[in-house]
Amino acid sequence: MTIAPKLFLNVENSLSGQRWLDRLDVAANMRALAIVQQHGITDILARILAARGQGPETVEAFLEPTVRALMPDPSSLADMDAAVERLAGAVQRGETVAIFGDYDVDGGCSSALLGGFFEACGIPYIIHIPDRIFEGYGPNAEAIRALAGQGATLLVTVDCGTTSFEPFAEAHRLGLDVVVLDHHQAPEQLPEVIALVNPNRQDDLSGLGHLCAAGVVFMTIVALNRALRAAGFWTANRPEPELLAMLDLVALATVADVVPLTGLNRAFVRTGLQVMAHRGRPGLRALFDVAGADGPPRAQALGFMIGPRINAGGRIGDAALGAKLMLLQDDAEAAGIARELDRLNRERQALELQAVAEAEAEALAALGLSEAGPCIVTASENWHPGIVGLVAARLKERFQRPAFAIAMQGKTGTGSGRSIAGVDLGRAVRAAVEGGILMKGGGHAMAAGVTVERAKLGDFRAHLEEALHAGVERALREQGLHVDAALTAGAAAPPLIHEVERAGPFGSGNPEPVFAFPHHRVVDVGEVGNGHVRLRAVAGDNQAVNAIAFRAAGRPLGQALLKSRGKLLHLAGALNIDRWGGQERVQLRLQDAADPQENPAP
């Protein structure tokens, strides 16, 4: 028998129309008590750990995850040994290696990782990142011919290639060996290559399917470095590179690609953030500076400040800028590229704002004609193909359903989809490709890309409705705002946040803690920036907390908040430290609020 989750503060219907659920069930509460008793940590941190499945016996390892402790033998990945044998041969013979990467953060970081390692080896390499508009996703025959023409004898694809049958046939015709390093979901039949390393191959038993491509590339580099060491390749004149120093790029890609921050991924990000704190990579240093990110690097900054700027190159500018920036050693050149990416990001934001408004209007019109379906599919000829993933993400956020946004150009369209927790979008897209509904498509559980004929848009919608219905229905039943603990304004201080961050980094798979602030009176509220709502609320002892609800002004939550001056509300959200002028101030990133009178205590 399934036990329904317990309501938190008895909130059945918040200002945004959702339930508040206690993230801790009875068993988790017992674990939290045991953690406090055995480890002497605060109640708040114990609740956070217990809610994420930790018990007294796992707390120490969870709070101090290390790559050394969590890294498996890279050879556990299918085809890894074959990949390393071919790569080691290329390095020892001084072959020219072509690296073909995807145009997003994961692809750029993966390309830079491999390129940086080849640079340490002293061998020539070429990085090619395809143009999103003119080349599309993944390897293409024309680019492969060009790379072969530049003298490449080995092609390594990163963050792509798992389904590239025809392009690799062309590579084979040209005498170009191929190694694939990827993480996207794979069909049963794979292209004929020297090695295809992908933990999401159907025959891979490594249990590492949660890695992003950069994680797979890093494991390949570890194995390759080991093979070169055994062969006596490294000498006093050619020293072995410091592999842990590469984890800054693995961390960035892991966060930006929204893969689960569990197990090895969490160790990658924790260690990578420590590497970033030393500001040793000129490209990353320039990006942090242009983004105005101060204080120690945090996973949130990677996802919301650094990642979008790198992605802006691939979306509406030069897709190769991100990989190039990560390999630069010249500060002035790095600063110039970082400024260009910042400019492109502002341009991208303007395009996104326009497209989201149109997509939301289309979705609302469709929802008004029938009951809300399990998936939203929008399409327009007005959208730049580089921003459709962002539009899909906004639709998913607004309607709490998987969503696709498709940029139509003539008889075909290219689009992106974003999913909600518990609904596997990549599988549904792969089935649509195999069923002849899509021209191309691929991805993973939370995100996917598609190419579809205009005439088959209706078939694609119908396929998604059928394929996702059960998963979405189940996810919506379990949906709500999961709250970790209750606080008062006076407790929301920097020492508490520093303590909570010990359980980080937070993201997909390790959700950021949500705190409720019961019965706080709103003393000031107003709209700021681009549709954000800022407010100040006080507890009964007159201690205050400052809060901001991003992009809420046009939503039911924001509209209710703007009318709440003088009212008592339950507030809920995540806490972070706002650093300004050398001082630390606590801010509540407001996710919801509830009227205590409409949700009375039992």
Burial of 465 (0-12, 13-18, 19+ CB in 10 A): middle
CA angle 258, 259, 262 (to 5 degrees): 125
pLDDT of 555 over the 80 cut: yes
Task: Note whether 388 and 459 are same-domain residues.
Answer: yes
Rounded to whole angstroms, the Cα distance separating 39 from 268 reads: 25
Task: Note whether 380 and 466 are same-domain residues.
Answer: yes
pLDDT band with cut points at 50, 70 and 90 for residue 579: confident
The CATH number linked to 490 is 2.40.50.140
Q: Please report whether residue 193 resides in a domain.
A: yes
Task: Note whether 493 and 457 are same-domain residues.
Answer: no
Nearest to 217 by CA among 327, 72, 85, 74: 74
Q: How many CB atoms lie within 10 A of CB 595?
A: 17
Q: Please report whether residue 395 resides in a domain.
A: yes
Q: Please report whether residue 375 resides in a domain.
A: yes
Q: Please report whether residue 578 resides in a domain.
A: yes
Task: Note whether 515 and 446 are same-domain residues.
Answer: no
pLDDT at 411: 94
CA distances from 596 to 216, 390, 514 (A): 49, 35, 18
pLDDT in tens, 373-405: 789 999 999 999 999 999 999 999 988 899 999
pLDDT band with cut points at 50, 70 and 90 for residue 476: confident
The CATH number linked to 413 is 3.10.310.30
The boundaries of the domain holding residue 378 are 371-477
Burial of 271 (0-12, 13-18, 19+ CB in 10 A): buried
pLDDT at 409: 92
Q: Please report whether residue 334 resides in a domain.
A: no
End position of a domain, from candidates 61, 83, 107: 61
Nearest to 387 by CA among 160, 132, 214: 132
Q: Classify 279 in phi/psi space as left (phi over 0), alpha (psi -120 to 50) or beta.
A: left
Q: How many CB atoms lie within 10 A of CB 210?
A: 22
SS3 22: strand
Task: Note whether 39 and 148 are same-domain residues.
Answer: no
Residue 278 near residue 296, CB atoms below 8 Å:
no
pLDDT at 446: 86
SS3 529: coil
pLDDT band with cut points at 50, 70 and 90 for residue 4: low
Task: Note whether 105 and 163 are same-domain residues.
Answer: yes
Rounded to whole angstroms, the Cα distance separating 485 from 492 reads: 12
Q: Please report whether residue 358 resides in a domain.
A: no
Rg (CA), the chain: 25
Task: Note whether 498 and 597 are same-domain residues.
Answer: yes
Strands 447-453 and 20-22: unpaired
pLDDT at 581: 65
Task: Note whether 98 and 236 are same-domain residues.
Answer: yes
The CATH number linked to 165 is 3.90.1640.30
pLDDT in tens, 330-344: 999 999 999 999 999
End position of a domain, from candidates 477, 511, 538: 477
H/E element holding 178?
A: strand 177-181
Q: Which residues pair with 70 in a beta bridge?
A: none
pLDDT band with cut points at 50, 70 and 90 for residue 479: confident
Give the number of domains in the chain. Answer: 4
Nearest to 361 by CA among 395, 384, 387, 393: 395
Q: Please report whether residue 336 resides in a domain.
A: no
Which amino acid would we find at residue 144? I
pLDDT at 55: 96
Q: Which residues pair with 447 in a beta bridge?
A: 418
pLDDT of 445 over the 60 cut: yes
Task: Note whether 94 and 238 are same-domain residues.
Answer: yes
CA angle 266, 268, 271 (to 5 degrees): 105
pLDDT at 133: 85
pLDDT of 351 over the 70 cut: yes
- For 343-383, strand residue ranges (E) read 376-380
Task: Note whether 180 and 54 are same-domain residues.
Answer: no
Average pLDDT across the chain, whole number: 94
Stretch 174-192: mean pLDDT, rounded? 95
Using H for helix, E for strand and C for coil, what is the string for 2-16? CCCCCECCCCCCCCC
Q: Which residues pair with 20 in a beta bridge?
A: 481
Rounded to whole angstroms, the Cα distance separating 292 from 490 reads: 28
End position of a domain, from candidates 455, 477, 499: 477
Q: Which residues pair with 417 in a beta bridge?
A: 404, 448
pLDDT of 96 over the 80 cut: yes
pLDDT band with cut points at 50, 70 and 90 for residue 372: low
Looking at the whole model, is its pTM more than 0.85?
A: yes
Strands 532-538 and 544-549: antiparallel
pLDDT in tens, 488-541: 999 999 999 999 999 999 998 899 999 999 999 999 999 999 899 999 999 999
pLDDT of 366 over the 80 cut: no
Stretch 438-457: mean pLDDT, rounded? 91
Residue 162 near residue 192, CB atoms below 8 Å:
no
CB-side exposure of 490: number of CA atoms within 13 Å? 5
Query: In the structure, how many helices (H) and strands (E) does the chain have?
Result: 21, 18
Place of tokens 């996104």: 352
Rounded to whole angstroms, the Cα distance separating 28 from 253 reads: 32
pLDDT at 1: 41
Q: Please report whether residue 328 resides in a domain.
A: no
Task: Note whether 13 and 117 are same-domain residues.
Answer: no
pLDDT in tens, 531-547: 999 999 999 999 999 99
Task: Note whether 96 and 38 are same-domain residues.
Answer: no
